[in-house]
């Protein structure tokens, strides 16, 4: 899992971690695994532009972009990480979520388990 993630995510950030219930030790057998990729404000801004481009005013894409900016979190689909998410789900046999997380943003909170 680590090697796959490093290979696919190294171009975004090397600060990759498991968070939420799996990191906190409160996961149930049916819990998913939440993977965070922490980036700086500049990287986040650049990724917003890359992932969303200039969306049409009032469009669903614009609303999704504004939500990502407000929460400091870009979901796997918008970050073009669906393929990696599916690979992880097959490898681990559980649902997986991968998010780009703004350093210091709403979703940048412990517990974390760094992926090395």
Instruction: Give the tens place of pLDDT for each residue, 47-73.
Output: 999 999 999 999 999 999 999 999 999
pLDDT at 3: 81
- pLDDT at position 10, please? 82
- Residue in this structure with the two tokens 């909170």, named with its chain if needed: 109
The CATH architecture assigned to 2-114 reads 2-Layer Sandwich (3.30)
Checking DSSP bridges between strand 112-114 and strand 16-19, what pairing results, if any? antiparallel
Does pTM surpass 0.85?
yes
Report how far residue 82's alpha carbon sits from residue 90's, in angstroms, rounded to the nearest whole number.
Answer: 12
Name the nearest CA neighbour of 105 among 47, 39, 52, 53.
39
**Residues sharing a CB contact under 8 Å with residue 19, sequence separation 6 or more, in sequence order:** 34, 35, 36, 109, 110, 111, 112, 113
- Asked if residue 1 has pLDDT above 80, the reply is no
Residue 2 has pLDDT above 90, yes or no: no
With residue 115 as reference, give the H or E element that holds it: none
Joined together, the tokens standing for residue 44 give: 């986040």
How many of the other CB atoms lie within 10 Å of CB of 34?
Answer: 20
**Span 69-103, pLDDT tens digits:** 999 999 999 999 999 999 999 999 999 999 999 99
Structure tokens of 9?
Answer: 């995510």
8-59 pLDDT per residue, tens: 888 899 999 999 999 999 999 899 999 999 999 999 999 999 999 999 999 9
């Amino acid at each position: 899992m680590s090697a796959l993630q490093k290979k696919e995510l190294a171009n975004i950030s090397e600060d990759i971690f498991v968070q939420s219930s799996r990191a906190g030790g409160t996961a149930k057998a049916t819990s998913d695994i939440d993977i965070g990729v922490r980036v700086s404000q500049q990287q986040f801004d650049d990724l917003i532009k890359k992932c969303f481009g200039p969306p049409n005013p009032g469009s669903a894409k614009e609303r999704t972009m504004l939500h990502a900016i407000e929460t400091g979190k870009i979901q796997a689909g918008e970050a073009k990480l669906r393929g990696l998410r599916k690979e992880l789900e097959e490898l681990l046999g559980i649902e997986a979520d991968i998010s780009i997380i703004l350093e210091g943003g709403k979703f940048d909170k412990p517990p974390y388990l760094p992926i090395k």
